Structure 1
Amino acid sequence: MIMNRKGRERFLDAVTGFETAVREQDGARSEQEFQKIHRHFGDAKQAEIDAGAPRLAALLTQLPAGPRGMVAVTVGACVERGADAGRCAPALLDGLADAVRGAGEFCARWTETGGGDLPDPETDAPDDAVLERVGPEPAMAWWTLPQWEMAAVAMLNHPAVRTGLDPAVRTGLLTSLRAVQEASGHDFKCLTYALLVLDDAPLVVLHRESGAGFALRMTGIGDNFQLHTLLADVLAGGGHVAARVPSAQEAAVCRDAPGQVPTTGSFNLAAPDGGWIWNEGTPSDIPVVDGARLLVLDPPPYERGWPAGRFFPGMTGDLTLERVLGADETARWFTHVQPAT
């Protein structure tokens, strides 16, 4: 117990030492103290994690591009252990925006200087030729973007961070990130999906076979596999429509229970124009009509199974039924709907 207590005390001491070294621009000591932070992270008390995380986040703007990504990952790890995401997120998401912009500049300069296959930021190492070709800052942005992705998802797991993110900032990040993905062919799917998560979002669902309509509200749902299972739980499980009812465990792992369990689809998800809404996509794919996302449920054209669960294991999700729509209101919503394709 004494050894454990001392190990825990050393975590915050290492954070203090790292702060001092960074402010004094002492690179060698910064590296030594950062290694101590990692060494004592596992034994740190919750109070130390809570206190240390925002202090590390506040240092991000003072760090060179390479170490900045590693410190961002550490901040994310602290948040996953319970540190306040709201206090850490602003500085970290600012750093993410810089990294995405820098990665875009890297891709542009790579193309301008001859093109070819881009180096893989997760398996290749930057060498002098690459640094000279594109410049050190864009190169470091490209190489550290996977680290920023990991750290940012840890922040975006929290609804307060997602709802507190300026919509213009979110749109800018998605636009820049998509440009990087198109230019590089590299998939930053986790970050993209995290930025697309909807919270407290109205959803109108029309069941084509029965002609019934429902007003629901969704929050924290990472992909349409998760949404599909929750729709089946709420509507079929609630006795509102005839379809396969998922088990209690299948529904639970799509809300907040750990793990995954096998499930089978209950519907085919469709847009008002008749096109399919793919399970592999996100709820943001559902078109907005008159202020709500409008989804049509058709019978499944074939049996399809997948592991029920959450795309983001650290993000709780939910779908709630607010009311069953009356016949006149349902008929008005159906005027927006085309036949299934």
Structure 2
Amino acid sequence: MTEQDGSSRPSSDFGAAVRERDGDRCEQAMEELQRYFGAAGQAEFTRAGPLLATLLPEVPQGPRSLVAVLVGACVEKGADAADCAPPVLDGLGEALDVAREFCDRWAATGGGDVPDPDAADLDDDVCDRVGEQTALGWLTLPQWEMASVAVLNHAPVRTALAPEHRARLQQALRTVEETSGHPFKCLGYALRVLDDEPLIVLHRPTGTGYALRMSGIGDNFQLHTLLADVLVGGGHVPGRAPSAREAAVCRDAPGQQPTTGTFNLVAPDGQWVWNEGTPADIPLVDGRRLLVLDPAPYERGWAAGRFFPGMTGDLVLERVLDVPETRYWLGGCRPAT
């Protein structure tokens, strides 16, 4: 089911309908596209992803988020994430702006519990209060989250995202979450993932320090396991080293493995750095993230793995700090509170 030019026919039919602004044909082509994708192979997904991504700005608001989800599905099946991502992330920014408008209008028309976008319907009460297009924007935000996380799983997308663009998306998301009371945790965590990020780690019990570099780590559970693998498993500090399988599922292997915590993660000011957070929570000191490792105050276990199963993570030891450098960093750190 492909055309001679190599593009999948349903994608091309949908594109023609969108460009010609033919609503009925667009709806019909969209239904055919969804049916086709149910049985398509990797080659079709690879070709269709960039094509659909280029169409996103022209697709009407209603089906636009669904097309974005299809783009994300194509990326998960092998389409080039870097080619597909810009229209998806631009659409996410617009969707967050509409969601913020929805929350403002909801508050201005009586307030109350904001409808759950994962469960709410586009009913008359919601539309009467905020307007149909604004309501539609709010209810499709979870689809934009799904599509955006799919492309942000890939390091080339994250590293190509301009810092000011990322900051705008993060600020818009925080505003929507604070105003609505509804969390979009996966999107928030995906926007906070660090790549090729220097990390100074100080092991307080032994007075030793390490310069590491981390990439693609979704949460601090994953980071904690990899720290134990690199430092304990590498013979640098005492403690329990995770098994090879526990470490592998935190890098690129599928699945999860039970594990037990080795350290207490502490910020330079003595505050705990919670496993439930992300590496972006680790404070910057002199341009580098600085983390202190103390003995675990109690035994804690979890399922080792990746918060984003489609995202490859890694933590690399670059060098062991010498004694003067370690003392310098430790000198500015307070005991854990």
Shared fold (TM-score greater than 0.5)?
A: yes
Give the structure 2 partner of residue 128 of structure 1: 124
Q: Tell whether 2:332 aligns with 1:336.
A: yes
Give the structure 2 partner of residue 195 of structure 1: 191
Deviation at 1:121, TM superposition (A): 1.2
Gaps of 5+ in 1: 1-5
Find the partner of 2:20 among 20, 24, 29.
24
Kept in 2: contact 1:49–1:78 (CA 8 A): yes
Deviation at 1:8, TM superposition (A): 10
Give the structure 1 partner of residue 59 of structure 2: 63
Kept in 2: contact 1:206–1:213 (CA 8 A): yes
Deviation at 1:86, TM superposition (A): 0.6
Give the structure 2 partner of residue 104 of structure 1: 100
Kept in 1: contact 2:7–2:47 (CA 8 A): no
Kept in 1: contact 2:2–2:8 (CA 8 A): no
1:233-244 mapped onto 2 (5 Å cutoff) = 233-244=229-240
SS of residue paired to 1:43: coil
Give the structure 1 partner of residue 180 of structure 2: 184
SS of residue paired to 1:206: strand
Q: Tell whether 2:260 aligns with 1:264.
A: yes
Equivalents in 2 of 1:249, 1:8: separation in Å?
44
Q: Which amino acid aligns with 1:115?
A: G
Give the structure 1 partner of residue 162 of structure 2: 166
Kept in 2: contact 1:8–1:44 (CA 8 A): no
Equivalents in 1 of 2:41, 2:304: separation in Å?
34
Instruction: Give 4+ residue runs of structure 1 displaced > 3 Å after superposition.
Output: 6-11
Deviation at 1:43, TM superposition (A): 3.2
Equivalents in 2 of 1:11, 1:123: separation in Å?
35
Find the partner of 1:35 among 18, 31, 34.
31
Q: Which amino acid aligns with 2:231?
A: L
Residues 8 and 49 of structure 1: CA distance in aligned 2, closer, same or farther (over 3 Å): farther
SS of residue paired to 2:175: helix
Deviation at 1:320, TM superposition (A): 0.3
Find the partner of 2:145 among 144, 149, 154.
149
1:253-332 mapped onto 2 (5 Å cutoff) = 253-332=249-328
Equivalents in 1 of 2:167, 2:133: separation in Å?
24
SS of residue paired to 2:8: helix
Q: Alpha carbon RMSD of aligned pairs, Å?
A: 1.5
Q: Which amino acid aligns with 1:158?
A: H
Deviation at 1:7, TM superposition (A): 8.8
Provide the identity percentage. 64
Give the structure 2 partner of residue 94 of structure 1: 90
Kept in 1: contact 2:259–2:303 (CA 8 A): yes
Kept in 2: contact 1:8–1:40 (CA 8 A): no
Q: TM-score, normalised by structure 1?
A: 0.96
Equivalents in 2 of 1:165, 1:330: separation in Å?
34
Q: Which amino acid aligns with 2:312?
A: T
SS of residue paired to 2:258: strand
Q: Tell whether 2:242 aligns with 1:246.
A: yes
Give the structure 2 partner of residue 3 of structure 1: none
Equivalents in 1 of 2:296, 2:81: separation in Å?
40
Encode CA deviations 1:146-168: one digit per residue, 9 max, x unaligned.
00000000000000000000101
Kept in 1: contact 2:18–2:26 (CA 8 A): yes
Equivalents in 2 of 1:129, 1:28: separation in Å?
27
SS of residue paired to 1:323: strand
Q: Which amino acid aligns with 2:148?
A: A
Deviation at 1:187, TM superposition (A): 1.0
Deviation at 1:82, TM superposition (A): 0.5
Equivalents in 1 of 2:120, 2:10: separation in Å?
30
Equivalents in 1 of 2:44, 2:241: separation in Å?
45
Kept in 1: contact 2:252–2:313 (CA 8 A): yes
* Equivalent residues, number: 336
Give the structure 1 partner of residue 134 of structure 2: 138
Equivalents in 2 of 1:65, 1:159: separation in Å?
29
